Amino acid sequence: MASPAMRRAIRVRGTVQGVGFRPTVYRLASAAHLAGFVRNDSEGVWIEIEGEPRAIARFPDLLRLEAPVLARIDGLEIAELLPLGETGFRVLGSAEEQSVQANVPADVATCAACLRELFDPSDRRYRYPFVNCTDCGPRYTIVRDVPYDRARTTMDAFTLCQRCLEEYKDPGNRRFHAEPNACPVCGPHLTFVEPGRPKLEKDEALRAAAKAIQAGKVVAVKGLGGFFLAVDPANEEAVAALRRRKRRPHKPFALMARNLEEVEKIAELTKSSRRALQSLTRPIVLLRAKPGAKVAPGVAPGLSEIGVMLPYTPLHHLLHAEGLPLLVMTSGNLSEEPIAKDNEQALEKLSAVADAFLLHDRDIHTRVDDSVFRMVDQSPQPIRRSRGLVPDSVPLLFSAPPILAVGAELKNTVCLVRGGEAYLSPHIGDLENIETFQFFEEVIGKLSRLLGVEPTAVAHDLHPDYFSTRWALKSGLPRQAVQHHHAHIGSCLAENGSRGPAIGVAFDGTGCGPAGDLWGGEILLADLAGFRRLGHLRPIALPGGEAAIREPWRLAAAALADAGVALDCLARVAPMRRSAVRQLLEKKVSTPLATGAGRWFDAVSALCGVRDEISYEGQAAVELEAIARPGDAPAYPFETEWRLEAPWEIDLRPTVRAIAADLRSATPASEMAARFHATLAVAIVQSCRCAREQFQVNTVALSGGCFQNRLLTESTRSLLESAGFAVLLHRRVPPNDGGLALGQAAIAAFRLSESQRP
Ligand code: ZN
Ligand code: ZN
Ligand code: FE
């Protein structure tokens, strides 16, 4: 005899809208002969099921097990209800409901099922560049408002045809409520524009674009989160033309490869980098380049690694299929401006860069750049966190009022706290540029609209001249100032689910200290509430201020002079310029002091003859790492007087003297580079030992842009772990200033949540 029916409600929280969750519930409920309904609402998904008790009891586990790939279940709550005698299971719409608390999902790479349709001549979406389903396609980039449904995306310009509408309404269809659903009859289309030639449409446009790239032209391609400039990476002249026109002499270009086999021809793959490349995010992954690959040296000059990604939109797959196994795919912008997203904007701004344009008529509402990862200790570490990762959140350990953290100046991102979650924005860029600053304001507006909260406080850097700080000062909101390196460590603690205390090693280029001095090689004792500066690298003079950052040879000169070594090691530099810098140093005019580890990397890079002048941030350090001989290298000498009354100094003058001696004996640069990395690692570990002895803290957090350096990070971590430390690294947000806003947000949230306690 059948037991009496039961009815239960299940509340599901997390990323459960726009990811095919309701069709899954429908399928599972129908298969289990359960009645009831499922609907989206303001907190996620609400399910009511009625039927046989054992099937009801099993349902939550089944749901977790069978949840769609894109869903992230953060919580399931169950409540008993009275049976209603309902028969049949229904999927209810969400259009009328407010879903301000639910998360908008990230953009997702084309799924296997859609890919099959794309290349199936009998399918109605054969070669249709906008094919998508509930498992894949654009999301964040096309959403204007919440709740996430078609009317609030840029797809509202296209009216679903009968067949698409049937798919959209059918709970059993894999396109049920796929908001960007489209087909060649009703959806967006391609256009190819080449000045002086007639416009081409649809498939002709695609083929013409591929031909143009093959002919060595630069083609601006409208992608998912913005425009890309595509050229043939095997064509040295095309790559050189792109560099010239973009005024980007050295900064590496990323490549897109048709599939893993193509990646394997040009780069070394490991199990974990393979997995990172294929993840739903489809990021750019920095990989060791294979010598002799058919890639022009101009793609990543001076580097041993290249950035590679796999195609993530149907359009990419179609371009590759036109006989282009590899493409240079670099952001469609001018130097440091934000990536272009509108057709007119691209035609105007990129006309001096691109020979032709592959456009389409689906608007991009929010631009996103590609996400970039580097493998550190066989696991991916973000360097830039954007497409496919936003608007995902980092959970905090406590709940706080809505705080907006506005980040740093370069590689800016912002972060908004809602309840116990911190939402880090996509990469915004360098704020000194007016277009980027507008984008910064746009992202703030969009983030608070999507999350349905207005910030009631703002967290910012101590640097008074950062555009983000100025914005915070003008916002009229209550403010929380957070020191730059404290924020770096706060970011690392927050993403590791810790509130400290930890020994924080914050190594970066420059950040503002509490007294307006320049910091960047800092050993801190920190938690989310505050910090104490325990030690730092010896300050290095910056002869000429900003000029010293663009011309690392000036830093080499300063380091030599400081160590009492003659400047003739820098024989490459014209004697006039050398003596001008010597005078600045002697008179102490225009020579601010900075403790930045990044500045020491610059100095040593120039000393070793690797890089005297840079064209992109971090270039000297990146190239120094690239030439460093792999394997163990002995550290150079350095001196420290461990003390506690005042911060100790890691004195690198003995290091500089040893490098100068190595230069005289013609030691290879690869050897010196390796030994300098080892020196910093040893200095960090000794500092941490000293801090542990004094404060009984055994956890070390490594943060700041210098920890993008794999050699430094891996050697430091391994030495620390052998010394018994627990080491926290960045895995969810970048160690560079792109992750800073998370730290500002966590620290401000912690302070405000503390102060609100009775
Ligand atoms: Zn799909
Ligand atoms: Zn259609
Ligand atoms: Fe920094």
Q: In this model, does residue 102 exceed pLDDT 60?
A: no
Do β-strands 699-703 and 502-512 pair in parallel, antiparallel, or remain unpaired?
parallel
Q: In this model, does residue 82 exceed pLDDT 90?
A: no
Ligand minimally distant from the alpha carbon of residue 185: 2
C-alpha 640 to ligand 3 mean position (Å) = 24
Ligand minimally distant from the alpha carbon of residue 314: 1
Amino acid identity of 221?
V
Q: Which residue has the higher pLDDT, 3 or 379?
A: 379
Can you tell me the distance from the alpha carbon of 299 to that of 219, in angstroms, rounded to the nearest whole number? 16
Per the prediction, the chain carries an average pLDDT of 93
pLDDT digits over 673-688, tens only? Answer: 999 999 999 999 999 9
Q: In this model, does residue 252 exceed pLDDT 70?
A: yes
C-alpha 735 to ligand 1 mean position (Å) = 33
Please, which residues bridge with residue 650 across strands? 537, 640
Q: What pLDDT, on a 0 to 100 scale, did the predictor assign at position 99?
A: 40
- Per cent of the chain over pLDDT 70 is 97
C-alpha 109 to ligand 1 mean position (Å) = 8
C-alpha 158 to ligand 2 mean position (Å) = 9
C-alpha 174 to ligand 1 mean position (Å) = 8
- Residue 239: give its domain's CATH number: 3.90.870.40
- Are both 207 and 323 inside the same structural domain? yes
Of 69, 66, 3, nearest to 31 by C-alpha is 66
pLDDT digits over 169-186, tens only? Answer: 888 888 988 999 999 999
Ligand minimally distant from the alpha carbon of residue 128: 2
Which of 346, 374, 402 is at the close of a domain? 374
Q: What pLDDT, on a 0 to 100 scale, did the predictor assign at position 98?
A: 42
Residue 463 pLDDT level (bands cut at 50, 70, 90) = very high
- The residue-averaged pLDDT of 595-602 equals 98
Token reading at 332? 């469609």
- Residue 68: give its domain's CATH number: 3.30.70.100
Does some domain include residue 255?
yes
C-alpha 187 to ligand 2 mean position (Å) = 6
Can you tell me the distance from the alpha carbon of 484 to that of 464, in angstroms, rounded to the nearest whole number? 12
Residue 80 CB burial class (10 angstroms; 0-12, 13-18, ≥19): exposed
Ligand minimally distant from the alpha carbon of residue 280: 1
C-alpha 131 to ligand 1 mean position (Å) = 7
Structural domain containing residue 63 = 6-91
Q: What pLDDT, on a 0 to 100 scale, did the predictor assign at position 88?
A: 87
- The residue-averaged pLDDT of 395-415 equals 95
Please, which residues bridge with residue 393 across strands? 423
C-alpha 163 to ligand 2 mean position (Å) = 6
Does some domain include residue 23?
yes
Ligand minimally distant from the alpha carbon of residue 485: 3
| HSE (side-chain half, CA atoms, 13 Å) at 753 | 21
Answer for the pair 243, 229: CB distance below 8 angstroms, yes or no. no
C-alpha 155 to ligand 2 mean position (Å) = 12
Q: What is the pTM of this model?
A: 0.90
C-alpha 407 to ligand 3 mean position (Å) = 10
Ligand minimally distant from the alpha carbon of residue 743: 3
| Cα 426-253-240 angle, rounded to 5 deg | 140
Q: In this model, does residue 517 exceed pLDDT 90?
A: yes
Can you tell me the distance from the alpha carbon of 335 to that of 354, in angstroms, rounded to the nearest whole number? 14
Q: What pLDDT, on a 0 to 100 scale, did the predictor assign at position 54?
A: 93
Q: In this model, does residue 94 exceed pLDDT 70?
A: no
Can you tell me the distance from the alpha carbon of 320 to that of 313, in angstroms, rounded to the nearest whole number? 11
Please, which residues bridge with residue 505 across strands? 523, 702
Question: Which residue has 């009815």 as its token pair?
Answer: 7
Ligand minimally distant from the alpha carbon of residue 111: 1
Ligand minimally distant from the alpha carbon of residue 508: 3
Answer for the pair 428, 336: CB distance below 8 angstroms, yes or no. no
Token reading at 700? 């070390």
Can you tell me the distance from the alpha carbon of 696 to that of 726, in angstroms, rounded to the nearest whole number? 13
Q: What pLDDT, on a 0 to 100 scale, did the predictor assign at position 625?
A: 97
CA terminus-to-terminus distance, the chain: 57
C-alpha 118 to ligand 2 mean position (Å) = 15
Does some domain include residue 596?
no
SS3 447: helix
Amino acid identity of 58?
R
C-alpha 128 to ligand 2 mean position (Å) = 11
**How would you label 720-739 residue by residue, b for 16+ Cβ within 10 Å and e otherwise?**
beeeebebbbbebbbbbbbb
- The residue-averaged pLDDT of 104-118 equals 92
Residue 442 pLDDT level (bands cut at 50, 70, 90) = very high
C-alpha 125 to ligand 2 mean position (Å) = 9
- The residue-averaged pLDDT of 240-258 equals 96
- The residue-averaged pLDDT of 204-221 equals 98
Name the least confident of 14-18, 244-248, 441-445, 593-597. 14-18
- Distance from chain centroid for Cα 585: 39
Phi-psi region of 33 (alpha: psi -120 to 50; beta: other; left: phi over 0): left
C-alpha 134 to ligand 1 mean position (Å) = 6
Does some domain include residue 499?
no
Does some domain include residue 123?
no
- Are both 196 and 67 inside the same structural domain? no
C-alpha 314 to ligand 1 mean position (Å) = 10
Q: How far is CA 246 from CA 233, 353, 521, 595, in A?
A: 16, 6, 33, 33
DSSP secondary structure code for residue 505 in this structure: E
Does some domain include residue 677?
no
- Are both 197 and 59 inside the same structural domain? no
Token reading at 684? 């960090």
- Are both 370 and 238 inside the same structural domain? yes
Q: In this model, does residue 2 exceed pLDDT 90?
A: no
Question: Which residue has 């659903």 as its token pair?
Answer: 181
C-alpha 739 to ligand 3 mean position (Å) = 9
C-alpha 456 to ligand 3 mean position (Å) = 26
Can you tell me the distance from the alpha carbon of 22 to that of 467, in angstroms, rounded to the nearest whole number? 44
Q: What pLDDT, on a 0 to 100 scale, did the predictor assign at position 733?
A: 97
C-alpha 43 to ligand 1 mean position (Å) = 26
Q: What residue ranges in 426-512 does DSSP mark as E strands?
A: 457-461, 479-482, 502-512
C-alpha 384 to ligand 3 mean position (Å) = 14
- Are both 358 and 216 inside the same structural domain? yes
Does some domain include residue 595?
no
Token reading at 263? 């990646």
Residues in the chain: 758
Q: How far is CA 453 from CA 95, 131, 414, 417, 449, in A?
A: 20, 33, 15, 9, 7
C-alpha 589 to ligand 3 mean position (Å) = 26
C-alpha 756 to ligand 2 mean position (Å) = 53
Question: Which residue has 């003739």 as its token pair?
Answer: 568
Residue 96 pLDDT level (bands cut at 50, 70, 90) = very low
Can you tell me the distance from the alpha carbon of 238 to that of 271, in angstroms, rounded to the nearest whole number? 33
Please count the other Cβ atoms lying within 10 Å of the Cβ belonging to residue 437. 20
Q: What pLDDT, on a 0 to 100 scale, did the predictor assign at position 758?
A: 52
pLDDT digits over 231-241, tens only? Answer: 999 999 999 99
C-alpha 173 to ligand 2 mean position (Å) = 14
Ligand minimally distant from the alpha carbon of residue 69: 1
Q: Which residues contact 317 (CB under 8 A, 6 or more apart)?
A: 110, 115, 118, 119, 311
- The residue-averaged pLDDT of 122-138 equals 96
C-alpha 736 to ligand 3 mean position (Å) = 6
Q: What pLDDT, on a 0 to 100 scale, did the predictor assign at position 326?
A: 98
DSSP string, 171-184: TTSTTTT-TT---T
C-alpha 732 to ligand 3 mean position (Å) = 17
Q: Which helix (H) or strand (E) holds 621?
A: helix 619-627
Q: What pLDDT, on a 0 to 100 scale, did the predictor assign at position 644?
A: 80
Answer for the pair 30, 89: CB distance below 8 angstroms, yes or no. yes
C-alpha 113 to ligand 1 mean position (Å) = 6
- Per cent of the chain over pLDDT 90 is 81
Question: What total of structural domains would you count in the chain?
Answer: 2
pLDDT digits over 688-720, tens only? Answer: 999 999 999 999 999 999 999 999 999 999 999
Q: Which residue has the higher pLDDT, 121 or 103?
A: 121
- The residue-averaged pLDDT of 127-155 equals 91
Does some domain include residue 235?
yes
**How would you label 462-486 residue by residue, b for 16+ Cβ within 10 Å and e otherwise?**
bbeebbbbbbbeebebeebbbbbbb
C-alpha 203 to ligand 2 mean position (Å) = 17
Q: In this model, does residue 484 exceed pLDDT 80?
A: yes
Q: How many helices (H) and strands (E) does the chain have?
A: 22, 30
Which of 329, 349, 374 is at the close of a domain? 374
Starting from the edge strand earliest in sequence, which strands make up the sheet with 89-91, in order? 72-81, 6-15, 44-51, 35-41, 89-91
- Are both 194 and 62 inside the same structural domain? no
Q: What pLDDT, on a 0 to 100 scale, did the predictor assign at position 756?
A: 59
C-alpha 544 to ligand 3 mean position (Å) = 21
Residue 757 pLDDT level (bands cut at 50, 70, 90) = low
Can you tell me the distance from the alpha carbon of 507 to that of 484, in angstroms, rounded to the nearest whole number? 11
C-alpha 160 to ligand 2 mean position (Å) = 5
- The residue-averaged pLDDT of 722-742 equals 98
Please count the other Cβ atoms lying within 10 Å of the Cβ belonging to residue 75. 10
